[in-house]
């Protein structure tokens, strides 16, 4: 009777001993480089949401909010996380600009772990969740879609949309109070992506007309898909019918897919081709131009790419602007400098044009400084495709060769890089002027870098800078005063206003603001 138990415990003991020696081999392979030793992997899905549990789970250390503190403490701009389960493996967090440039410039040696992005293949294969030849095909189609004509359209549509907000939603109010700034920035970004992304004339006021063959308006479906994606990617399909909220989300995703397919069919089958510059039409045109079929995307892939660009452009812009307005409300002196700069460019109170964008340098500097302090994506994951090495200087100036075993997970720590005092003086300070001076371009990566850098960067900048310019031109931004926070210090207020969580992108917790019309 005891024999089965003896065999079982013997097998468990052998397995534990094997794990121990494999763990020791991993440490030896990396020269016992300093870092964290844990039971569970840094890439464990639970680590995205759990606080760090010393010796058990890295938690958000892998998706670091610790700025540069971990690197300062360990003495190098690289540290390791070595885990035991599910099998001993090693992850590297890197905040050195030279090493990151080397990695992003050699895509074949440091590929993207696309399995981490499989949840984003909701509507089909896309440029984010692909690698190798599939990625090249998506990139070849997407490149011409982000054209100068599209950028101009983004700027002009954004200015019109903000004017629409002033004329309808805000009307004659001299003071607008918002409990959370995303209640303003989300609708603005939604309308921009509706017009410049899809070529749909979605109005600022309620536009809930449901066309034949649909159960939800385009605007409502787009809003739900943009704001509730976390539910879609985290709840199994079979469970999406359990509550009314989940059923509504499920319907919104089904509806937006139908709308996108209708737009594909309409524009593909039209007898007379109308020249359009919206992103959706540009992607469709670029895909159709591949005569040999080598670059042509399927309808599923077109929907997949448009969804990814919509998600990235909508949420990223809305959240960054919320942080940006929060920063300006905290730092009134910087807001005044920005306002005076805008008035020198738009002295007669005229509308900002696309040609003004390159002149609005302080607007760009404020936008960039916000992105430096609170990057939308705080970690860019890579994998080492081969045994290799990287060289890192210590804080004392000594150079050390770090061995990177094949299959190691690499985390390009964007927050660590953006707060690295080696590249940024007083990195915790909000100082937009630094972007009007010489700075290390390789140490500023809110859009990543290399071949896989963000294609929609200019789209994002046009939209964000146009909104920032229009609102600061007309309104002064302040923190909403609340009795419960009457005695907080400036540092406590800043921490509260800039509090964030890790969603699809970095998400503000609550940014309560007052917009006061200027005289």
More confident site: 272 or 408: 408
The answer to whether residues 508 and 324 touch, using CB atoms and an 8 Å cutoff, is: no
Is 159 within a domain?
Answer: yes
- List, in order, residues 6 or more apart from 45 with CB less than 8 Å away: none
- Counting the structural domains of the chain, the total is 2
At residue 24 the predicted structure's pLDDT band, cuts being 50, 70 and 90, is: confident
| Residue after which a domain boundary falls, among 418, 433, 467 | 418
More confident site: 383 or 297: 383
At residue 1 the predicted structure's pLDDT band, cuts being 50, 70 and 90, is: low
Q: Are residues 325 and 220 in the same domain?
A: yes
Give the span between the Cα atoms of 52 and 388, in whole angstroms: 29
Counted residue by residue, the chain has a size of 519
Give the span between the Cα atoms of 116 and 44, in whole angstroms: 11
Query: Would the pLDDT of 231 be above 90?
Result: no
Highest mean pLDDT (candidates 33-37, 255-259, 481-485) = 481-485
Give residue 289's pLDDT.
63
Give residue 428's pLDDT.
95
Q: Following CA atoms 501, 316, 417, 74 in sequence, which dihedral angle do they give, to the nearest 10 degrees?
A: 20
Q: Are residues 388 and 373 in the same domain?
A: no
Is 405 within a domain?
Answer: yes
Q: Following CA atoms 350, 355, 361, 366 in sequence, which dihedral angle do they give, to the nearest 10 degrees?
A: 70
Is 435 within a domain?
Answer: no
Q: Are residues 213 and 308 in the same domain?
A: yes
Q: Which helix (H) or strand (E) holds 413?
A: strand 409-413
Highest mean pLDDT (candidates 48-57, 175-184, 186-195) = 175-184
Q: Are residues 303 and 405 in the same domain?
A: no
The Cα diameter of the chain in Å comes to 94
Query: Would the pLDDT of 103 be above 50?
Result: yes
> Which of 118-127, 144-153, 204-213, 396-405 is predicted least confidently?
204-213
Q: Are residues 115 and 137 in the same domain?
A: no
Residue 270: domain span: 132-377+446-517
Read off the pLDDT of each residue in 245-266 and give the average, rounded to a whole number. 87
Give residue 416's pLDDT.
94
Query: Would the pLDDT of 504 be above 80?
Result: no
Is 255 within a domain?
Answer: yes
- List, in order, residues 6 or more apart from 122 with CB less than 8 Å away: 229, 232, 233, 253, 304, 307
Give residue 62's pLDDT.
45
pTM listed for this prediction: 0.88
Q: Are residues 258 and 334 in the same domain?
A: yes
More confident site: 422 or 12: 422
Give the span between the Cα atoms of 71 and 141, in whole angstroms: 40
Q: Are residues 170 and 310 in the same domain?
A: yes
Q: Are residues 80 and 46 in the same domain?
A: yes
Is 427 within a domain?
Answer: no
Q: What is the CATH number of the domain that holds 505?
A: 1.10.630.10
At residue 171 the predicted structure's pLDDT band, cuts being 50, 70 and 90, is: confident
More confident site: 39 or 344: 344
How much of the chain exceeds pLDDT 90, in percent? 38
Give residue 207's pLDDT.
59
At residue 44 the predicted structure's pLDDT band, cuts being 50, 70 and 90, is: low
The answer to whether residues 498 and 324 touch, using CB atoms and an 8 Å cutoff, is: no
Is beta strand 506-508 parallel, antiparallel or unpaired with respect to 500-502?
Answer: antiparallel
Read off the pLDDT of each residue in 478-491 and give the average, rounded to a whole number. 94
The answer to whether residues 114 and 308 touch, using CB atoms and an 8 Å cutoff, is: no
Is 1 within a domain?
Answer: no
Q: Are residues 276 and 364 in the same domain?
A: yes
More confident site: 448 or 273: 448
At residue 270 the predicted structure's pLDDT band, cuts being 50, 70 and 90, is: low
Q: Model confidence over 122-144: pLDDT tens digits?
A: 777 787 778 878 888 888 878 87
Give residue 61's pLDDT.
46
More confident site: 20 or 339: 339
Q: Are residues 232 and 335 in the same domain?
A: yes
Give the span between the Cα atoms of 399 and 390, in whole angstroms: 10
Q: Are residues 325 and 389 in the same domain?
A: no
Query: What is the chain's Cα-based Rg?
Result: 25
- Please, what is the average pLDDT of the chain? 85
> Which of 28-42, 43-57, 470-484 is predicted least confidently?
43-57
Q: Are residues 139 and 267 in the same domain?
A: yes
Give residue 63's pLDDT.
47
Read off the pLDDT of each residue in 301-327 and give the average, rounded to a whole number. 86
Binding site annotation covers 462?
A: no
State the first-to-last Cα distance of the chain, in angstroms, to the nearest integer.
Answer: 90
At residue 449 the predicted structure's pLDDT band, cuts being 50, 70 and 90, is: confident
More confident site: 14 or 464: 464
């Amino acid at each position: 009777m005891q024999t089965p138990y003896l065999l079982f415990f013997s097998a468990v003991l052998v397995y534990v001993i094997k794990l121990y020696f494999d763990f020791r081999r991993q440490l030896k392979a990396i020269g016992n480089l300093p870092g964290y030793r844990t039971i569970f992997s840094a890439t464990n899905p639970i680590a995205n949401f759990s606080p760090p549990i010393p010796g058990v789970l890295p938690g958000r250390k892998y998706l670091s909010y610790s700025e540069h503190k971990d690197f300062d403490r360990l003495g190098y701009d690289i540290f390791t996380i070595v885990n035991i389960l599910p099998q001993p493996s090693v992850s590297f967090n890197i905040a050195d600009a030279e090493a990151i440039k080397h990695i992003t410039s050699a895509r074949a040696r440091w590929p993207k772990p696309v399995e981490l992005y499989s949840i984003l293949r909701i509507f089909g294969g896309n440029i984010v969740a692909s690698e190798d030849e599939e990625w090249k095909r998506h990139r070849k189609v997407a490149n011409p879609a982000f054209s100068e004509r599209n950028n101009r359209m983004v700027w002009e549509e954004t200015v019109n949309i903000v004017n629409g907000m002033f004329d309808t939603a805000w009307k004659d109010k001299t003071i607008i109070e918002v409990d959370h700034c995303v209640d303003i920035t989300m609708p603005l970004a939604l309308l921009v992506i509706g017009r410049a992304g899809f070529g749909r004339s979605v109005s600022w006021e309620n536009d809930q007309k449901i066309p034949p063959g649909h159960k939800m308006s385009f605007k409502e479906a787009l809003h739900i898909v943009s704001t509730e994606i976390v539910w879609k990617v985290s709840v199994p399909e079979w469970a999406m019918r359990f509550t009314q909220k989940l059923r509504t989300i499920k319907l919104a995703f089904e509806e937006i897919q139908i709308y996108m397919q209708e737009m594909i069919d309409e524009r593909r089958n039209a007898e007379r081709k109308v020249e359009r510059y919206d992103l959706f039409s540009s992607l469709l045109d670029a895909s159709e131009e591949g005569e040999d079929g080598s670059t042509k995307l399927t309808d599923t892939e077109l929907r997949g790419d448009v969804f990814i660009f919509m998600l990235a452009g909508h949420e990223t812009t809305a959240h960054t602007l919320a942080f940006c307005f929060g920063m300006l409300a905290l730092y009134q002196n910087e807001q005044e400098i920005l306002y005076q700069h805008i008035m020198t460019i738009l002295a007669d109170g005229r509308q900002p044009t696309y040609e003004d964008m390159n002149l609005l340098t302080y607007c760009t500097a404020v936008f960039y400084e916000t992105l430096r302090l609170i990057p939308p994506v705080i970690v860019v994951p890579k994998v080492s495709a081969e045994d290799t090495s990287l060289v890192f200087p210590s804080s004392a100036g000594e150079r050390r060769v770090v061995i990177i075993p094949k299959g190691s997970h690499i985390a390009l720590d964007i927050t660590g890089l953006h707060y690295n005092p080696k590249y940024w003086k007083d990195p915790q300070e909000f100082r937009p002027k630094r972007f009007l001076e010489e700075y290390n371009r390789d140490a500023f990566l809110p859009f990543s870098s290399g071949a896989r850098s963000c294609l929609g960067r200019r789209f994002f900048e046009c939209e964000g800078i146009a909104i920032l310019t229009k609102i600061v031109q007309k309104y002064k931004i302040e923190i909403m005063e609340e009795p419960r926070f009457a005695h907080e210090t400036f540092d406590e207020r800043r921490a509260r206003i800039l509090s964030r969580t890790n969603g699809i992108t970095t998400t503000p917790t609550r940014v309560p603001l007052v917009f006061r019309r200027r005289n």
